[in-house]
Chains A and B, each alone.
Chain A
């Protein structure tokens, strides 16, 4: 698992039993909070997914009628409107995630390789790269929505007024283009994180490895392929799954970019569930969709960790 603390310390000396309780007392506040805000709501959420919970029962949800698996049937019946919309949203999210992951990792790797050797202005350029990651998400998305405005935005100004690429000014925040806008904003936000992780990973690669490789006649690409990439394996393993989870569950970017209702072409799964729950006040269906989403993410994560750790054992 990510970052569990190393265990290779000498065994502790014998302690009096009284003191053995101390670590548990120290953990107590953290455990109580996690239980209250994460674990209990999670279980309640699973419970709600079996109820017909609408706004009428909100203040007294124990009296909501039981629904059995109706909410799940509704969410998974792809011939009906609700199920079809969920499937569509799932596929949109999948495409979005693949594109964002690919570009973020590529940009991050390129930037990390290009700044690996010291040169004048390297500190400055690293800072420029990191600013998108440091900005509060809502502020940067508001800024992008200004840039994507049809009549007053910089995007159409450059593409249409200066480069004359089209006769008509396209809309960027509705229709098919809204999907690409979403991808661009998300890549802009998340590639610096890839850059950060990969840079840190590269700092622990000993310089002698490159010198030895160069001595053997390895060029730039061969060094990246045979020295950098293998040494980044463990960083990549964590980076890809973290980026995947963040991107797949992205909510803030579409919510700020499009407002409460996203265009169909850019209907990410988190927004879709939010909409089902808090705009149409259909908590039961919303919970059922959330549970399905969690199952999917668990399967992907566990599968990924199993496959990737097997790979590293063989290496």
Chain B
């Protein structure tokens, strides 16, 4: 089947327009990060007058960027690993057992995904403040509170996607391991998890990205010493002198790890994201 000429031209033009729309801001970010300060304080320039990597060094001194980095890495790593661990157990139950309340569980968990964050941010804040007073464990303004909160954000999606991956692992594998004398959990740990590993890694990366970019809860549940990048980066704008080249350098630096992770794993993510709706 051949497509008509007018359609291939429409396609070329359409794809070009969309690529410019998607890519232009990236161009601005990358080139501005490589400009000297003078270039970003006057009229906009398409190209730097002089290429410099100085902003990538200066950005660490304008705001406590390294501290925010550490906070973001700790919070996102712990939250995503813990969330995937909890989700794996639940996904295994949903995928391998028929039990009372199984469907109710799936529906309730997924519908928490649509609760507006703003709705439980406020009570959660009040609860954290009061719990901290009662127990002495600091939950607001600490990494711990943020970690627990982020875990629950990614849980529903993680359970949904992991249950899909586990469904695609043949049940004969479990049965074979059980014949060899493994208990149900032994079969899960030694046989099912290794086979489902690519999917598990993809979900972990997804959970990491979600925590890495979260702003609403981080803006309320952190203080100066536990601030994450998502909130901390705005500190550049409140300086007397707005160093746009440093801001772009910092934005680029915090984006590169998650963008690379996403692009490497997009195939798995796409399969997981759409499994429920396409089938």
Contact = CB atoms under 8 A, between A and B. Distances in A.
Interaction A to B: yes
Interface of A: 1-7, 9, 11-12, 19-20, 22-24, 26-27, 29-31, 33-34, 36-42, 44-45, 48, 53, 58-61, 107, 110-111, 114-115, 117, 125, 127-140, 142-147, 149, 151-154, 156-157, 161, 188, 192, 196-197, 199-201, 204, 210-211, 214, 219-220, 234-235, 237-239, 245, 249, 251-252, 255-256, 259, 270, 273-274, 277-278, 283, 286-287, 290-291, 293-294, 297, 301
Given A131-B26, A138-B230, A237-B277, A152 B126 contact: no
B203 interface: no
Given A3-B110, A152-B42, A251-B117, A41 B123 contact: yes
Nearest to A4: B106
B238 to A, nearest CB: 9
B120 A252 contact: no
Contacts of B40: 152
B25 A211 contact: no
B127 A152 contact: no
B213 A283 contact: no
Contacts of B209: 134, 136
Nearest to B153: A37
Interface string B233-277: 110010000001001100110110011001100100011011111
A130 B110 contact: no
Nearest to A142: B251
Interface centre among B103, B118, B247, B275 (most CB of A within 10 A): B118
B4 A219 contact: yes
B3 A19 contact: no
A251 B119 CA distance: 12
Interface size class of B (residues with CB under 8 A): 35 or more
Contacts of A133: 262
Given A38-B115, A255-B215, A143 B110 contact: no
Given A129-B18, A293-B119, A134 B28 contact: no
Interface string B25-52: 1101100100000001111100000000
Contacts of B89: 26-27, 29-30
The interface residues of chain A, by DSSP majority, are classed as helix
Interface of B: 1, 3-4, 7, 11, 14-15, 18-19, 21-26, 28-29, 32, 40-44, 86-87, 89-90, 92-99, 102-103, 105-112, 114-124, 126-127, 129-130, 133, 148-149, 151-152, 155-156, 159-160, 163-164, 167, 184-185, 209, 212-213, 215-216, 219-220, 229-231, 233-234, 237, 244, 247-248, 251-252, 254-255, 258-259, 262-263, 266, 270-271, 273-279
A114 B90 CA distance: 40
A180 B167 CA distance: 44
A92 B184 CA distance: 54
Given A142-B247, A142-B251, A235-B277, A41 B259 contact: no
Interface centre among A27, A39, A139, A211 (most CB of B within 10 A): A139
A200 B278 contact: yes
A256 B102 CA distance: 40
A3 B23 contact: no
Given A142-B233, A146-B28, A111 B251 contact: no
Contact of B213 (A1, A138, A220, A238): A138
A6 B97 contact: no
Given A143-B251, A144-B25, A297-B114, A152 B278 contact: no
Contacts of B110: 1-4
Nearest to A221: B7
Contacts of B116: 249, 270, 290, 293-294, 297
B119 A58 contact: no
Given A138-B233, A196-B270, A278-B220, A12 B97 contact: yes
A29 B90 CA distance: 8
B64 to A, nearest CB: 17
Contact of A128 (B19, B94, B151): B19
A137 B262 CA distance: 14
Given A6-B167, A136-B209, A44 B127 contact: yes
Given A38-B112, A58-B126, A201-B274, A251 B216 contact: yes
A136 B18 contact: no
Contacts of B124: 37, 41
B122 A147 contact: no
Contact of A283 (B19, B115, B126): B126
A53 B105 CA distance: 34
Nearest to B160: A3
B130 A59 contact: yes
A114 B100 CA distance: 46
